[in-house]
Amino acid sequence: MAASPSSFVRSVFHRAAERIADDHFGVPAADWITAFKSVGCTLIVSATCLDEARKIEAAGIDMIVAQGWEAGGHRGMFDPALPDDQLGTMALTHMLVAHTSVPVIVACGIMDGAGIRAALDLGAVAAQLGTAFIACPESSADEAYRAALNGEGARHTVMTRAISGRPARCLANQFTKWAAGDRHDVPDYPIAYDPGKALNAAAKSAGESGFGAHWAGQGAPLHRAMPASSLVAKLWHEAGRPI
């Protein structure tokens, strides 16, 4: 969602509609960057801390996604073996805006127009929402996932590497209960995904839906179930943007 009608933001988003490459677990290799740029791609890479953002900037990437600790889905940290400062959205966004010259997109915990406005007020050029769209009829979330989004687990989201091998935030369920504290040995990403999917399939066939990878952020209880186009219009209106 664009922050202002500046020609830069307009041009990025017009181009983005056609060609965009978004990398989540680090900066792509230099020859990939060159190849993407040679075909006019806008390159976007996620950062969870200032060190990662500086590497993104040095690599000549076009935009940074500031992914705070609250965000749903996989944590875009470059190396999950390194210590994680678990920076929240406010501090992370402030830092990246203040200490890099690359346009920043905020992705974490934004569920309504007020959240979008806050992101823009922090100096971001846009907001990226994930959890807010899970309950839209267009999403591929199954019935169990949708029900869980309205349940107790939505108020207790968990960051765990048990499901895929990399840290990711999801709704609390039977799987996260088993994985509590990440005390089990888990194969590296993405190897862990396959047994997790098999476990979920077996559990579902036995009538238990608590072993799904129900990715969601801390804002989950604030979701609104409606068609995606209506949600976007609502967000736009709440953010105080003319339609």
Ligand X SMILES: Cc1cc2nc3c(=O)[nH]c(=O)nc-3n(C[C@H](O)[C@H](O)[C@H](O)COP(=O)(O)O)c2cc1C
In the complex with ligand X, the residue whose CB is nearer, 5 or 138, is 138
**C-beta of residue 66 within 8 angstroms of C-beta of residue 45:** no
Element (H, E) at 105: strand 104-107
Instruction: Give 3-state DSSP helix, strand, coil % of the chain, rounded to 5.
Output: 40, 10, 45
In the complex with ligand X, the residue whose CB is nearer, 186 or 217, is 217
Half-sphere exposure of 117 (CA within 13 A, CB side): 10
Within 8 A by CB and 6+ apart from 40, the residues are 15, 18, 19
Binding of ligand X by 110 (CB under 6 A): yes
Peptide bond into 5 cis (omega under 30): no
Task: State how far the Cα of 62 lies from the Cα of 43, in Å rounded to an integer.
Answer: 5
Tell me which stretch binds ligand X (CB under 6 A): 3-11, 13-21, 182-190, 209-217: 209-217
In the complex with ligand X, the residue whose CB is nearer, 108 or 136, is 108
Binding of ligand X by 217 (CB under 6 A): yes
Task: State how far the Cα of 101 lies from the Cα of 72, in Å rounded to an integer.
Answer: 26
Residues 36-75 that bind ligand X (CB under 6 A): 67, 70-74
Residue 20, beta-bridge partner list: 42
Residues 18-37 that bind ligand X (CB under 6 A): 24
In the complex with ligand X, the residue whose CB is nearer, 168 or 186, is 168
Tell me which stretch binds ligand X (CB under 6 A): 80-88, 152-160, 196-204, 214-222: 214-222
Binding of ligand X by 167 (CB under 6 A): no
**In the complex, which residue's CB is closest to ligand X?**
130
Q: Considering the complex, what minimum distance in angstroms separates the CB of residue 138 from ligand X?
A: 13
Site string for ligand X, 126-155 (x = CB under 6 A): --xxxxx-x---------------------
In the complex with ligand X, the residue whose CB is nearer, 33 or 107, is 107
Binding of ligand X by 108 (CB under 6 A): yes
* Contacting residue, 219, 223, 231, 235, with ligand X by CB under 6 A: 219
Tell me which stretch binds ligand X (CB under 6 A): 12-20, 80-88, 107-115, 150-158: 107-115
Tell me the site size for ligand X, rule CB under 6 A. 21
211: closest CA among 116, 108, 155, 142? Answer: 142
Residue 15 CB: number of other CB atoms within 10 A?
Answer: 14
Distances (CA, A) of 133 to 31, 45, 162, 215: 34, 21, 24, 12
Q: Which residues bind to ligand X, rule: CB under 6 A?
A: 24, 67, 70-74, 107-110, 128-132, 134, 215-217, 219
